[in-house]
């Protein structure tokens, strides 16, 4: 059997986000964020994720005054806010060397536009990263993971509003100044391309707030503002703290043509390009011609300020972080073809691949292809910051979780990553399993779509003890990590 020699500095980790685990939504001065208004969706329309994810101003306002637990699972998360010492200890015991997490913007600036930061919020994250450092765990910090403060949505039009760049700037610099001694790796915005797929949960954009505008134009303007904000933070880090590494992050869903009909190959290439546009801008420092052409054809006009182009050009990311869960197939004409059941990534069913309970098709080789394609395109260090399987695990009467399906998923993906590291000549910083403990799923707002290596006793109705139980996958990952840099 082949064994793999890994760079001893390779980071093996786990990943999570504040809005999916923390809870404590109104504690110690935290303000409300958009994540606090996302409703539990038991009957998700799996064929139309976009529609299921759109939200009206009225619904957001109703959400603000509805304090029931069940509907607003993300407000409570899995109570990481109070359990982080114990959770980090358990995760450290697996032998991880990295922990990706995010900071809640509204915990630092409750309204987003406050003059002064909330000291309790800063101290919370300081203690969190010190706790990680205590176990020699490298914190990987995402500054914005699907949770802009609600006040910036309702009174400023969120990322569409240029003033939000300044608010983000102030928030990010405050956090970086406070934590730079403890955190080396930074990611400004989670899955920055997701603004196109789910503009509310990604960037706080509510369509009915723009009655006289083309909403697509609103989305692309907000996208531009996020690029400007990211470039400013990259500039700040490079100038002020040159030892820090600051990346960009995209969703790497591999898109395959349904068959070898060149028209289908072309369609798949076009879709992939639409995602790569986001890394092109942040790595090459300019809007690619193909995106400019598309915007022109669709009559989308982005308002830029003098200096934006130059800022983006001069301040590019140090590494490309990406999430990878699945691949999808596509065709130029999908009529009559079977579509996937996936609740987020729609596509044509790929008969060569199994699928998860949520219809995400499982494709370990797609991870290797992601690595090859991204490395070939940019020759920059890569970082797999999310990879995992959502499943409805069962806690047995003797408090065990036999998640062999997750072990299988992780084993096959990690193996493809190792093959790629050894065979494909790529540059890879690390790998993080999504997630840590179970958490509230981003797309369904349910905990029953479980991703953790540690089970949390909590159900979709909000019932449970919040007690943690190690899954079989926890022990499997621990064993893998015990091999150090030589994996059999
Ligand atoms: C990524 C998000 C995460 C996470 C993951 C799984 O796109 O960055 O926040 O949740 O997807 O998705 P889901 O929870 O919808 O199954």
What pLDDT does 443 receive? 85
Is 386 a known active-site residue? yes
What pLDDT does 46 receive? 46
Mean pLDDT of all residues in 273-288? 97
What pLDDT does 395 receive? 97
Quote the ligand 1 centre to 448 CA distance (angstroms): 13
CATH 1.20.58.390 fits 4-487, yes or no: no
At residue 127, does pLDDT exceed 50? yes
What pLDDT does 455 receive? 98
At residue 318, does pLDDT exceed 50? yes
Mean pLDDT of all residues in 278-290? 97
pLDDT above 90: percentage of residues in the chain: 84
What pLDDT does 66 receive? 77
Indicate the pTM of the whole model.
0.96
What pLDDT does 68 receive? 66
Where along the chain do its domains lie? 4-487
pLDDT, the chain, mean: 93
What pLDDT does 42 receive? 53
Ligand 1 pocket check for 282: Cβ under 6 Å: no
Per-residue pLDDT reduced to its tens digit, 36-53: 988 766 544 444 445 446
Ligand 1 pocket check for 441: Cβ under 6 Å: yes
Mutate to test the pocket of ligand 1, among 387, 442, 449, 452 (most ligand atoms within 8 A of CB): 442
Per-residue pLDDT reduced to its tens digit, 449-482: 999 999 999 998 889 999 999 999 999 999 999 9
Determine which residue's CA is closest to atom 15 belonging to ligand 1.
443
What pLDDT does 70 receive? 63
What pLDDT does 2 receive? 75
pLDDT above 70: percentage of residues in the chain: 95
Per-residue pLDDT reduced to its tens digit, 336-389: 999 887 766 668 999 999 999 988 999 999 999 999 999 999 999 999 999 999
Ligand 1 pocket check for 33: Cβ under 6 Å: no
Mean pLDDT of all residues in 108-128? 98
Which ligand 1 atom is nearest residue 344's CA? 15
Per-residue pLDDT reduced to its tens digit, 186-245: 999 999 999 998 899 999 999 999 999 999 999 999 999 999 999 999 999 999 999 999
Ligand 1 pocket check for 17: Cβ under 6 Å: yes
Quote the ligand 1 centre to 191 CA distance (angstroms): 10
At residue 293, does pLDDT exceed 90? yes
Per-residue pLDDT reduced to its tens digit, 64-95: 877 666 678 888 999 999 999 999 999 999 99
SS3 string, the chain, reads CCCEECCCCCEEEEECCHHHHCCCCCCCCCCCEHHHHCCCCCCCCCCCHHHHHCCCHHHHHHHHHCCCCHHHHHHHCCCHHHHHHHHHHHHHCCCCCEEEEECCHHHHCCCCCCCCCCHHHHHHHHHHHHHHHHCCCEEEEEEECCCCEHHHHHCCCHHHCCHHHHHHHHHHHHHHHHHCCCCCEEEEECCCCHHHHCHHHHHCCCHHHCCCCCHHHHHHHHHHHHHHHHHHHHHHHHHHCCCCEECEEEECCEEEECCCCHHHHHHHHHHHHHHHHHHHHHHHCCCCHHHHHHHHHCCCCCCCCCCHHHHHHHCCCCCEEEECCCEEEECCCCCCCCECCCCCCCCECCCCCCECCCCCECCHHHHHHHHHHHHHHHCCCEEEEECCCCECCCCCCCCCCCCHHHHHHHHHHHHHHHHHHHHCCCCEEEEEEECCECCCCCCCCCCCCECCCEEECCCCCCCCCCCEEECHHHHHHHHHHHCCCEEC
What pLDDT does 62 receive? 82
Quote the ligand 1 centre to 262 CA distance (angstroms): 32
Per-residue pLDDT reduced to its tens digit, 389-422: 999 999 999 999 999 999 999 999 999 999 999 9
């Amino acid at each position: 059997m082949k064994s793999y020699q890994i760079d001893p500095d390779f980071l093996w980790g786990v990943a999570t986000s504040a809005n999916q685990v923390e809870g404590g939504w109104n504690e110690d001065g935290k303000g409300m964020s958009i994540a606090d208004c996302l409703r539990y969706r038991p009957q998700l329309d799996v064929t139309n994720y976009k529609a299921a994810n759109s939200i009206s101003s009225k619904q957001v306002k109703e959400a603000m005054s509805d304090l029931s637990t069940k509907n607003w699972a993300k407000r409570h998360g899995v109570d990481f806010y109070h359990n982080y010492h114990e959770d980090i200890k358990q995760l450290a015991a697996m032998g991880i060397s990295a922990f990706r997490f995010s900071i809640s913007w509204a915990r630092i600036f409750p309204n987003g536009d406050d003059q002064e930061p909330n000291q309790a919020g800063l101290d919370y994250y300081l203690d969190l990263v010190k706790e990680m450092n205590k176990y020699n765990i490298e914190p990987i910090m995402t500054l914005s993971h699907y949770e802009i403060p609600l006040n910036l949505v309702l009174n400023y039009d969120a990322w569409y509003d240029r003033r939000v760049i300044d608010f983000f700037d102030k928030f990010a610099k405050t956090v970086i100044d406070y934590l730079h001694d403890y955190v080396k790796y930074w990611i400004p915005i989670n899955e920055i391309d997701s603004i196109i797929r789910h503009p509310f949960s990604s960037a706080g954009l509510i369509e009915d707030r723009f009655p006289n505008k083309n909403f697509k134009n609103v989305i692309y303007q907000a996208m531009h503002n996020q690029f400007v904000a990211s470039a400013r933070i990259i500039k700040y880090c490079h100038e002020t703290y040159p030892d820090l590494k600051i990346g960009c992050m995209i969703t790497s869903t591999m898109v395959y043509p349904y068959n070898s009909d060149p028209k289908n190959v072309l369609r798949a290439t076009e879709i992939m390009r639409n995602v790569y546009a986001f890394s092109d801008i942040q790595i090459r420092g300019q809007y690619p011609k193909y995106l400019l052409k598309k915007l022109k054809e669709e009559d989308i006009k982005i308002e830029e300020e003098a200096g934006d182009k130059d800022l983006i050009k001069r301040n590019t990311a140090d590494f490309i972080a990406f999430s990878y869960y699945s691949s999808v197939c596509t065709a130029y004409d999908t009529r009559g073809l079977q579509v996937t059941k996936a609740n987020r990534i729609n596509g044509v069913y790929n008969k060569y691949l199994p699928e998860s309970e949520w219809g995400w098709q499982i494709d370990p080789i797609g991870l290797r292809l992601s690595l090859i394609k991204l490395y070939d395109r940019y020759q920059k260090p890569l970082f797999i910051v999310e990879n995992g399987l959502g499943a409805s695990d069962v806690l047995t009467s003797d408090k065990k979780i036999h998640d062999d399906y997750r072990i299988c998923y992780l084993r096959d993906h990690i193996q493809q990553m190792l093959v790629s590291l050894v065979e494909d000549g790529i540059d890879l910083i690390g790998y993080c399993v999504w997630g840590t403990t179970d958490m509230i799923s981003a797309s369904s707002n349910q905990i029953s779509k479980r991703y953790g290596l540690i089970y949390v006793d909590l159900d979709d109705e909000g019932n449970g003890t919040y007690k943690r139980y190690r899954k079989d996958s926890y022990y499997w990952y621990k064993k893998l990590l015990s091999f150090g840099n030589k994996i059999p």
